[in-house]
Amino acid sequence: MNTPEAAEQLQGLRCQNGKCRSVPLELINEEPLVIRIQERPYSVVMRTPGEELAHAAGFCLAEGLLDSSEDLLDLDYCRHLDPNVVDVRLKPERLEKVRDLLERRGFVSQTSCGICGKELLDDLHQIVRPLDRGFELPVDGIFQCLEKLFARQHFYQRTRGTHAALLFDRQLESIAFAEDVGRHNALDKVIGRALLDGSLERAGPVALSSRISFELVQKAARSRLPLLLSKSRPTALAVTMGRGLNMTLACVPEQSELLILCGDERILGLDREAGPGRLSADDPHSMS
């Protein structure tokens, strides 16, 4: 069985004091994990590879499918030894107790081991298309966007328990802001507000308090948002998807440090000491 790596190294630009240089960056990986119950798909979750059987067991316990390990008849990778698919089989007496729960669950449509990895990404690319270059942003604008985001996080200051998203127009004026316990929810809310009030067509960058995952890239691409900015490094899969969709992903891990993972051609005012050219779909790590 070919076990996926938990992290991988991709090339990026590190910019400090106006100077940029090409550097390798270690990024956490995320891949889809298909959890099947009685040979039927129950859920697809994105996770860092590793401990798949434990992940599936804990998930089933939280879902109410298990009360203890005694309820398990079998827990293993699918018969093709795919590390991204786990088969859970319940004992007959436990299956009878949770049958209503299984029937109420909206099963995902995919039914084979082939859903994982590349095929899932190919499916996602059927509903998104690469973005035009279009909008460009001065490098100072990235810092300004994130500063404005953090200044708006009122609930976070009180609770330390929320994520936030701030959507800007192409003049860097705020369009919509949202805080939520879920990072995906926060992005959905600002996109939805812009969609409902008719401002989505003039949207530019979106600043996020959370790490950029592939799902957030997908949401932004569907909304034709060209730039995603955050405090934390994105996942490797988010960068791969961003490059394939001609998007720009950048983060500011330190106050004066900027990391650009893809789409650096949209950022104006970069002074490259030694550059990799463009971090774009032409990069060898981009999706085919």
Check residue 100 and give its pLDDT: 86
Tens of pLDDT along 91-122? 999 999 999 888 866 444 333 344 444 555 56
SS (H, E, C) the chain: CCCCCCEEEEEEEEEECCEEEEEEEEEECCEEEEEEECCEEEEEEEECCCCHHHHHHHHHHHHCCCCCHHHEEEEEECCCCCCCEEEEEECHHHHHHCHHHHHHCCCCCCCCHHHCCHHHHHHHHCCCCCCCCCCCEEHHHHHHHHHHHHHHCHHHHHHCCCEEEEEEECCCCEEEEEEECCHHHHHHHHHHHHHHHCCHHHEEEEEECCCCCHHHHHHHHHCCCCEEEECCCCCHHHHHHHHHCCCEEEEEEECCEEEEEECHHHEECCEEEECCCCCCCCCCCCCC
pTM: 0.76
Gap between the Cα atoms of 69 and 169, Å rounded: 52
Q: Is residue 28 very low, low, confident or very high in pLDDT (cuts 50, 70, 90)?
A: confident
pLDDT at 147 over 70: yes
Tens of pLDDT along 29-64? 888 889 999 989 998 888 888 888 988 998 898 788
Q: Is residue 259 very low, low, confident or very high in pLDDT (cuts 50, 70, 90)?
A: very high
Answer yes or no: 113 catalytic.
Answer: yes
Q: Is residue 261 very low, low, confident or very high in pLDDT (cuts 50, 70, 90)?
A: very high
Class of 7-28+128-274 per CATH?
A: alpha beta
Gap between the Cα atoms of 269 and 140, Å rounded: 8
96-105, 106-115, 196-205, 221-230: least confident range: 106-115
Out of 113, 145, 251, 262, the active site residue is 113
| CATH code given to domain 31-125 | 3.10.20.10
In degrees rounded to 5, what are phi and psi of residue 6?
A: -75, -20
Q: Give the residue extent of every domain in the chain.
A: 7-28+128-274, 31-125
Q: Is residue 283 very low, low, confident or very high in pLDDT (cuts 50, 70, 90)?
A: very low
15-34: average pLDDT: 88
Gap between the Cα atoms of 33 and 86, Å rounded: 8
Q: Rounding to the nearest 10 degrees, give the CA dihedral for residues 266, 268, 273, 277.
A: 20
